Amino acid sequence: MWKKVYEWLDERLGLNDMYTNLLDRPEPTGNWWNTLGSASLFLFVMQGLTGIFLTVYYTPSPDHAYDSVQYIMEGVAFGWLIRGIHHWGATLMVIVVFIHMLRVFFTASFKYPRELTWLIGIGLLLMTLGMGFTGYLLPWNQRAFWATTVGTQIAGSVPFVGEFILKALRGGPDLSALTLQRFFSAHIWMLPAMLAGLIGVHLFLIIKHGESHFPTKED
Amino acid sequence: MSGSNELSRRDFIKVTTGIVGGLIGVAIGLPTISYLIDPALQEGGKDVWVSIGKFEDMQVGIPYPFSFTRVQVNGWERTSNSFGGYALRKSDDPKDLLILNSRCTHLACTVNWSEEAQGYLCPCHDAKFSIEGEVLDGPPPRPLDVYTDFRLTEDGLIEIFSKAG
Ligand code: HEM
Ligand code: FES
């Protein structure tokens, strides 16, 4: 019965082909450093899931943000776990993505034909950092408030357009409800959407080119 | 390497990935379900006795309106809910009271006593209840709810038992 259903689907979707090409594809002998991209992907998915669950209670308004986070930590069953995973996962993701980039650099895997993969990777790193920056403000506690004050001030020190950048980030001259709301929007919609799209292209390119061989002495 | 009983390297990876993935899924999935349904499992407020007024202020045969609010903690906020009703004194016996809840049994609007109509009128869908709470007109499926637990205190106050929430 299930076999029939599976065969029917396979005939139309090419599940078997997909499986061999995506998951069972040949890989050059590498080492554990080659798993860091997949680790980044795993963390991204994890952050996405826990993030979605956090929005069930989190409220992005100056009146409620702090209390709602407090409630997640103390009021809801396993709130500490969901927030904990999201909190530590964020830090870990930045580290893992960064080391992934270092490994690509040190094995010179960014060379032809993988330059685009590398460029997109840089985009991914920047957006991962952006996720950290926007997410940090959301608890709306003292640390978050001042970190964002400083962070946006630094962005504001760019010559000529600094003032404009600062206002665009904050949604005005000061840190306000507008800042919190736009950081929230960036954190849960804009950046994740762009990340997901770019990760898709990144992975497409990796499967298209296959993974680079570990450089040998001759290289 | 490829003895018939031995797992190939690829199969070993597949099985391990499946097991580890499954474990992570359960370890995070179950708490997540609990996290999502938690508010539905919370107890409401406590059951308390609420005073609705002095027995001597209630006139025989005339509905005596009362109202009270109860605070309920929802998440990080306190929500106050208003309750109200009418106490109908029938004789000198403080046990001889009919205490109606003014929450309409149709869709929960608040009914008001109308001297003119000699009934409780609901503003929402024009229901009419008798002085005893029976449905005379309109869509409500049953008579007004009755507070059956009440008592007279030493200070001459009538108190009703208000259940949680
Ligand atoms: C959200 C962040 C990222 C995710 C989810 C991700 C995912 C992946 C995955 C799954 C692979 C397969 C090979 C491996 O794991 O080593 C890979 C390879 C690669 N990544 Fe990333 N990556 C991310 C960030 C970056 C960054 C920041 C760079 C560099 C600027 C980069 C550049 C590359 C390149 C050039 C390859 C091909 C390497 C090869 O073929 O050997 N990636 N990435
Ligand atoms: S709510 Fe009272 S008549 Fe509908």
pLDDT (tens digit, 9 = 90+) per residue, B31-52?
Answer: 999 999 999 888 767 788 999 9
* B85 and B101 belong to one structural domain: yes
Q: How far apart are the first and last CA of chain A?
A: 53
pLDDT at B2 exceeding the cut of 50: no
pTM equals 0.79
Whether A137 and A144 have beta carbons less than 8 Å apart is answered as: yes
Q: Which helix (H) or strand (E) holds B48?
A: strand B48-54
Composition of chain B by helix, strand, coil, percent to 5: 20, 35, 40
CATH number, residue B98: 2.102.10.10
| Domain match, B83 and B37 both | no
Q: Which position has the token pair 């070993």?
A: B12
Q: By residue range, what is the domain housing residue B23?
A: 1-41
Residue found under tokens 């869908």: B125
Q: What is the mean pLDDT of residues A133-140?
A: 97
Domain match, B58 and B122 both: yes
Which residue in chain B is spatially nearest to A26 when comparing CA positions?
B10
Task: Match 């798993």 to its residue by tokens.
Answer: A35
Nearest one of B35, B42, B38, B77 to A67, comparing CA atoms: B77
Residue B106 pLDDT > 50: yes
Helix or strand (DSSP H, E) at A29: none
With beta carbons under 8 A apart, name residues in chain B contacting A68.
75-76
Residues B92 and B158 in one domain: yes
Q: Are residues B86 and B128 in the same domain?
A: yes
Beta strand B119-121 pairing with B112-114: antiparallel
The average pLDDT across B58-76 equals 91
Secondary structure letter of residue A172 according to DSSP: S
Helix (H, G, I), strand (E, B) or coil at A48: helix
CATH number for the A35-138+190-209 domain, one of 3.90.1150.10, 2.160.10.10, 1.20.810.10, 3.40.980.10? Answer: 1.20.810.10
| Final residue in a domain of this structure, among B10, B26, B41 | B41
Nearest to A124 by CA among A158, A97, A104: A97
**Contact at 8 Å (CB) between B127 and B139?**
yes
Q: Are residues B16 and B97 in the same domain?
A: no
Domain match, B33 and B58 both? no
Same domain, B140 and B64: yes
Grade residue B1 by pLDDT with cuts at 50, 70 and 90: very low
B60 and B32, same domain (yes or no): no
Q: Are residues B86 and B116 in the same domain?
A: yes
What percentage of chain A has pLDDT greater than the value 70?
98
Number of domains in chain B: 2
* Side chain identity at residue A36, one-letter code: L
Instruction: Decide: A122 in ligand 1 pocket, CB within 6 A.
Output: yes
Mean pLDDT of A83-103: 97
Residue with structure tokens 């076999």? A3
pLDDT digits (tens, 9 = 90+) for B115-160: 999 999 999 999 999 999 999 999 999 999 999 999 999 999 999 9
Atom 3 of ligand 2, nearest CA residue: B125
Distance in Å from the first CA to the final CA of chain B: 68
Identify all chain B residues contacting A70, using CB atoms and an 8 Å cutoff. 76
Over 50: is that where the pLDDT of A55 sits? Answer: yes
Task: Classify residue A46 by burial, with Cβ atoms within 10 Å: 0-12, 13-18, 19+.
Answer: middle
Q: Does residue B79 sit in the same domain as residue B1? A: no
**Whether residue B118 sits in one domain with residue B103:** yes
Distance B137 CA to ligand 2 centre (A): 11
